Amino acid sequence: MIRTLIALFFFLICFPVQSDEKNKIIDNFKKIENLSFSFNQTINGKTERGSCKIQYPKKIYCSYKLKHNKVLVSNGKSLVIKSDHINQYYYYPLKSTPFELLLDKNFILNHIKKSKLKVANEKYYYFTINKNNYEINVFFNNNNYKLMGWQTEDIYQNLIITFIYDLKINSNIDKKLFTLPSKN
């Protein structure tokens, strides 16, 4: 009986803290209309750097710091990756990529509300999304509750870890950025 009371006591003490942290993440995320940030992205051990702008819902523009001018852009329906390297141009329906979920603010908020908050390395809070054959971990800073990045697999089943920094919230973003590049 005493063990049950002690376990219940610890549960009641720990649960509100987790609930409070979760609510702070939700409150922070609700305020976001757009994001601008720099990133480090690791794909199968290879790191790429660049900067991105996200406009909710479902729009993203990323420019990679590579000698081949790689750009990733979504207009909310399609995703294009363009590189000057051998004039590569990849076109995907957004719904066939993890960005369909990552760029949907309402989906993320609803998922956070019903998910269990987890802790990684005592530095990050994260939630795991399992939907449409995707497993996505979305990370938040445990001090300021801001988005820190995500981990997922691309359509080729490569592990992708995206760490974001220099985060700016609700800045002016030129809507023309989200126009898909042409195949020139």
pLDDT in tens, 76-114: 999 999 988 777 889 999 999 999 999 999 999 999 999
Q: Please report the pLDDT score of residue 47 as a whole number.
A: 94
- Domain containing 71 equals 24-174
**Cα–Cα distance measured from residue 113 to residue 110, given in angstroms and rounded to the nearest whole number:** 5
96 falls within a domain: yes
**Cα–Cα distance measured from residue 21 to residue 16, given in angstroms and rounded to the nearest whole number:** 8
Q: Which of 43, 46, 83, 42 is nearest to 63 (CA)?
A: 83
User: What are 9-32's pLDDT values in tens digits?
Assistant: 333 333 434 678 999 999 999 999
What is the band of 5 on the pLDDT scale with cuts at 50, 70, 90?
very low
**Cα–Cα distance measured from residue 184 to residue 169, given in angstroms and rounded to the nearest whole number:** 33
Bridge partners, residue 141, by sequence: 124
29 falls within a domain: yes
123 falls within a domain: yes
What is the band of 117 on the pLDDT scale with cuts at 50, 70, 90?
very high
Q: Which CATH number belongs to the domain containing residue 151 in this structure? A: 2.50.20.10
39 falls within a domain: yes
Asked if 112 contacts 101 with a C-beta cutoff of 8 angstroms, the reply is no
Number of domains composing the chain: 1
Instruction: Say what angle helices 105-114 and 2-30 make with each other, to 10 degrees.
Output: 170
7 falls within a domain: no
